[in-house]
Amino acid sequence: MRGLFITFEGPDASGKTTQIDILKKRLENSGMDPLVTREPGGTFVGEKIREILLDKNNAGITPVAEMLLYAASRAQHVSEVIKPALESGRTVISDRFYDSSEAYQGYGRGLGKMVWRVNEPAVDGIWPDLTIMLMADPDDVKGRRADSEKDRMDSESLAFQQRVKKGFEAVAERDSDRILRIDAGKSIEEIADEIAAAVERLAGRKI
Ligand code: TMP
């Protein structure tokens, strides 16, 4: 049986990493062997593309070049990691997937529907069974990282981050069957429990 594909999405600094760690441990404690991966990245080539995308020295990357690089990383990731793992029955948890391209490149950069046209061959028919969208307000989290720690993407203006957030909101509303939208302002435990309940419903078993 095909494994479950769970993705985590949301604006920068919304607490995804903490929640992915908690879910991974819960699944492991219940006897599962989840594969945790991320985008951009998740493969040798993808991690190299990630370096290019997040390097602050690459301020000159055009919006279209950026969109293509995220899609290239995704194509490699789906083909080399996600598809084979799902086919072998493993649960895959990805820190970001296509929804991020829609929010950041589609809404943030204003590239709109072009983003899907480019990504359709990259996702190659693979689609999440469940997406956890942790929604933080860019205004509330902007001080969380020092400027020196910020990468090319999270150094973007507050106006850009607000467009990205709007993009995530629109995607969550449109795909409400797949996407569980959670307010990132709740406590870590409360969020973890909501996520576990959603995964239990999907998996049809306790975790
Ligand atoms: P991370 O900081 O969550 O690891 O993600 C790296 C950055 O890349 C983050 O600012 C979101 C951005 N991103 C896009 O702009 N488009 C995409 O398709 C993906 C996967 C990430």
- Give nearest CA residue, ligand 1 atom 3: 12
Which among 145, 148, 173 has a CA at the least distance from the CA of 161?
A: 145
- Give nearest CA residue, ligand 1 atom 8: 153
CA of 49 to the centre of ligand 1 (A): 12
pLDDT tens string for the chain (207 positions)? 999 999 999 999 899 999 999 999 999 999 999 999 999 999 999 999 999 999 999 999 999 999 999 999 999 999 999 999 999 999 999 999 999 999 999 999 999 999 999 999 999 999 999 999 999 998 888 777 788 889 999 999 999 999 999 999 999 999 999 999 999 999 999 999 999 999 999 999 999
Coil, helix or strand at residue 43: coil
Coil, helix or strand at residue 113: coil
CA of 40 to the centre of ligand 1 (A): 6
CA 108 to ligand 1: nearest atom: 15
pTM of the shown model: 0.97
CA distance 47 to 153: 16
- Give nearest CA residue, ligand 1 atom 15: 104
Place of tokens 């083909």: 79
Structure tokens at 81: 């990691």
Place of tokens 């239990």: 200
CA distance 110 to 104: 8
User: What's the DSSP call for residue 68?
Assistant: H
CA distance 117 to 54: 23
CA distance 48 to 152: 15
* Ligand 1-lining residues (CB < 6 angstroms): 12, 38-40, 70, 96, 100-101, 104-105, 153-154
Q: What is the dihedral of CA 46, 49, 54, 57, to 10 degrees?
A: 160
For residue 206, how many other CB atoms are within 10 A of its CB? 8
Residue 204 zone, left/alpha/beta (φ > 0; ψ -120 to 50; rest): left
Q: Are 58 and 152 in contact (CB under 8 A)?
A: yes
